[in-house]
Amino acid sequence: MEKYNLYQASYLRCMGNDDFLPLFYSLFINADIAIKDMFGSTDKEQQILTLKASLAMLQPAQDLITHEQLIKSIALRHKKMNIAPHLFNVWFDCLMQAVKQYDPQYNEDLHTIWREQLDFGIKLMTKESQ
């Protein structure tokens, strides 16, 4: 529970800054030409809201069965959009660049905690979108 609390505190510090999600979006959209091709001409504000929702969706949940079903359904949508599975790790790397910039308590231990907390969802998205 302590790791979850550390993750949640970091998440709230980041989300409390209005510039966090726009930076995350900018890092992500520019991280790979495939991402820019897919999302570069879409509504930036809508994409930022989608990133916010994806962060919320990947957080650990009490009801693992429902959580898993939700992630699988979203992975299926990504698969239909031909989003390459490796891009989920790019998503995480961009997220962590933004966390590093906006969480003054960021360190390698916190990076590991973020990875542990989101790993189930990222791995499931990767697997189900192949």
Nearest to 105 by CA among 23, 5, 28: 5
- CA torsion 95→97→101→107, rounded to 10°? 100
Distance CA 24, CA 46 (A): 14
Kindly report the pTM of this predicted structure. 0.90
Convert 113-126 to b/e letters by CB count within 10 Å (16 or more is b).
bbeebbebbbebbb
Q: Which residue ranges of the chain lie beneath pLDDT 70?
A: 1, 62-65
